[in-house]
Structure 1
């Protein structure tokens, strides 16, 4: 199932998720499955066959569980045992070679059993053998490794080094796991490009897992060193960016936040799941002066002025760049357009189809006299574009792949202007926007949200985990 999901360019943790992902993609799809013999896999075939724009070609041996299940389902069948469907000479050649292969395999040594409670052993073993053993095993959780492996299995079963597998397991290993597992995995993952600074997984208690993630943003101003986390409920939680320990929460007056960002005074701007923009100023710093000046200044606060500018706006994604006055808020929409508000008002069409993610940062001139917002936009069309409001967008694309962007963020780090992008097939990419240098990573579960701070830390929000990653080797 994971191998098929990889080939289709989607992330799926179960057969139901694979069917759902295929149903959402309107492209006509032909899937060829050779050597299908297990009846359980045949059930997946039948589920996939119900997707109207998918066609499946399946090979199964006569008498196998898969053949018996599919033969009674009404599927069209081409029986290659019948002479009119085969070249007899070539068939005899194939049968002879097949018998020879069986003899060779029968004489070879059986696969060595893997110690499933040993972190190093499972990272070095054949990942498909480990997966099969965990799926069939009834001897418990093996110190928490079984749960972690099955959460991230699609990424773990890719061709990669044992160190990379150890890093992936670390990102989804809960604090209820055997305390010896995490140090062993950290030691094995020492040579990887990425490192896991911390990870909070469903069920964690110290500190507690903040819940499923639908949107993330790094805090500014009074929310400095905090991470804003939106999830399934109508609330935004703040956690310490150092370890995800709880700091506070604010209930939203509308549905859950689908995209959010924070301005320089701590005001939180968010889009609900229907695309309506709202402003939450519970964390905003007061701009009032002290003494008589404070009493005489009864004008609107920056948060109120920003709310007035944005009143009634809708979008699919939102980002914010600090500026000389209000800063610049950018909104993407379903038509592929990106609009800016605040210090600079502008709009441009950047994508064919919906804007799915935005990141924004501020470029300050060498003398510090002027600031320019830089916007990075990801779309359903599989492109990442760059634009500075008030100017023409960058010619061409910053990044392009054959699957949609699902999340992104941008920040000014020690490496310069930097963006991080998550794609629908589970790939996370870090890119230096000046040099084009990139680093990639796959964690296994679907990525729902991303955030990046000026230290270069990358925060990855998923359904059952919130993980903080650091790039060990800046490029």
Structure 2
């Protein structure tokens, strides 16, 4: 149902939380192959909130599901009917080498219509740390025909990501911040973090859930002081920084660039600005902005004109990041339905990845790795030469 509605949710409560901020919706429940009592219970629960119109489709002929596969065999699991596999894992308490935990965690991605190779990649990115080596090896072999090679995956609470002096910077929901190779987060703010940006190698800026600015490291400057004072009365919704410029998005769809030469502004989105990224190239500053309207725009402070979006989908943008890689400038974008796309120079079609859980942040490191953060996992993916199959 979450896939049908374009949101990410693993429980009925999570579904309601994802939908309550929008307009009332109609959802359709198809009982074929499902327990009628569970369908009725779910419909009753959703109707009780008064925000959704629930339609239960008339029963159809039951599909021929057959017997579930060997749940400890990665090849069999990735090739089988995903709904059948899901039901079998729900009914089995065994870990099956780590496959059960990975499947149930990433299930919203896995039940989509896709080949075994893509399912293997998603499963490998979701495996628990204690998964059996034979399972990891089999999934690595199976995923060899995807556009991605999984570089690493680790348990990690992620609220926001950025890159500072070539290093990946991870901000967690509790207000801690660190580089990827640091074991313990540095305490930076007692408030939950919404975004993180690097003004320079020593100065990291954080935007909290109230839209206020916090500085970590470095020294306070007239610029950071002015931005912090502005956001006390006009909270921000997104944050980026580069080349002595701090960029802030607002709930009305505008991006504000605070720099040493003054303030530049542009109205780029209909509705809230949800993500920002900035890259400096000499005196030129290039800004990418994502919005609740699902669009990604490119803008340079001081430049006039309104250009069409560089990419757009009918779901809110939840994160984006632009960076230089050995292949050239790259752009990573994540939307609220769980899809991440990496845009590379010279590659006509963006490379997609759906981890399953909701995406909190994305970043592109200087070595070309795409980093995808969820509420409890951080993964690094490397595009394969030639784009895979």
Under a length normalisation based on structure 1, what TM-score does the superposition of the two structures give? 0.75
Q: Which residue of 1 aligns with 2:171?
A: 230
Q: Which residue of 1 aligns with 2:185?
A: 249
Q: Which residue of 2 aligns with 1:95?
A: none
Is the counterpart of residue 342 in structure 1 residue 256 in structure 2? no
1:434 & 1:340 partners in 2: Cα distance? 30
Q: Within 5 Å, which residues of 2 pair with 1:73-92?
A: none
1:346 & 1:261 partners in 2: Cα distance? 19
Secondary structure of the structure 2 residue equivalent to 1:177: coil
Q: Which residue of 1 aligns with 2:160?
A: 215
Q: Which residue of 1 aligns with 2:286?
A: 374
2:99 & 2:29 partners in 1: Cα distance? 30
| Cα shift at 1:247 | 4.7
1:387 & 1:215 partners in 2: Cα distance? 22
Please tell me whether the aligned partners of residues 30 and 57 of structure 2 are also in contact (alpha carbons under 8 angstroms): yes
Residues 270 and 34 of structure 1: is their aligned pair in 2 closer, same or farther, counting only changes over 3 Å?
Answer: closer
Please tell me whether the aligned partners of residues 277 and 313 of structure 1 are also in contact (alpha carbons under 8 angstroms): no
1:124 & 1:150 partners in 2: Cα distance? 16
Q: Which residue of 1 aligns with 2:143?
A: 189
Is the counterpart of residue 355 in structure 1 residue 267 in structure 2? no
Secondary structure of the structure 2 residue equivalent to 1:233: coil
Secondary structure of the structure 1 residue equivalent to 2:144: coil
Please tell me whether the aligned partners of residues 417 and 434 of structure 1 are also in contact (alpha carbons under 8 angstroms): no
Gaps of at least 5 residues in structure 2 are: none
| Cα shift at 1:308 | 3.3
Residues 383 and 474 of structure 1: is their aligned pair in 2 closer, same or farther, counting only changes over 3 Å?
Answer: farther
Residues 258 and 393 of structure 1: is their aligned pair in 2 closer, same or farther, counting only changes over 3 Å?
Answer: farther
2:356 & 2:40 partners in 1: Cα distance? 24
Q: Within 5 Å, which residues of 2 pair with 1:269-308?
A: 269-281=205-217, 284=218, 304-308=221-225
Q: Which residue of 2 aligns with 1:318?
A: 239
Secondary structure of the structure 1 residue equivalent to 2:372: strand
Q: Which residue of 2 aligns with 1:449?
A: 361
| Cα shift at 1:469 | 1.2
2:230 & 2:169 partners in 1: Cα distance? 22
| Cα shift at 1:21 | 1.6
Number of aligned positions between the proteins: 380
1:413-457 CA distance string (max 9 Å, x none)? 233322101100000011247876411111111001111122221
Q: Indicate which of 53, 57, 62 corresponds to 1:55.
A: 53
Please tell me whether the aligned partners of residues 327 and 345 of structure 2 are also in contact (alpha carbons under 8 angstroms): no
Q: Indicate which of 108, 128, 133 corresponds to 1:174.
A: 128
Who wins on radius of gyration, i.e. which is larger?
1
Secondary structure of the structure 2 residue equivalent to 1:264: coil
Secondary structure of the structure 2 residue equivalent to 1:190: helix
Under a length normalisation based on structure 2, what TM-score does the superposition of the two structures give? 0.91
Q: Within 5 Å, which residues of 2 pair with 1:40-119?
A: 40-59=38-57, 111-119=66-74
Give the aligned CA root-mean-square deviation in angstroms: 2.3
| Cα shift at 1:360 | 1.1
1:317 & 1:433 partners in 2: Cα distance? 26
Residues 402 and 391 of structure 1: is their aligned pair in 2 closer, same or farther, counting only changes over 3 Å?
Answer: same
2:28 & 2:249 partners in 1: Cα distance? 38
| Cα shift at 1:311 | 3.3
Q: Which has the higher contact order (CA 8 A, sep 6+)?
A: 2
Residues 116 and 377 of structure 1: is their aligned pair in 2 closer, same or farther, counting only changes over 3 Å?
Answer: same
Secondary structure of the structure 2 residue equivalent to 1:312: helix
Q: Within 5 Å, which residues of 2 pair with 1:132-143?
A: 132-138=87-93, 140-143=94-97
Q: Indicate which of 363, 366, 383 corresponds to 1:471.
A: 383
Is the counterpart of residue 13 in structure 1 residue 10 in structure 2? yes
Q: Which residue of 2 aligns with 1:33?
A: 29
| Cα shift at 1:266 | 2.2
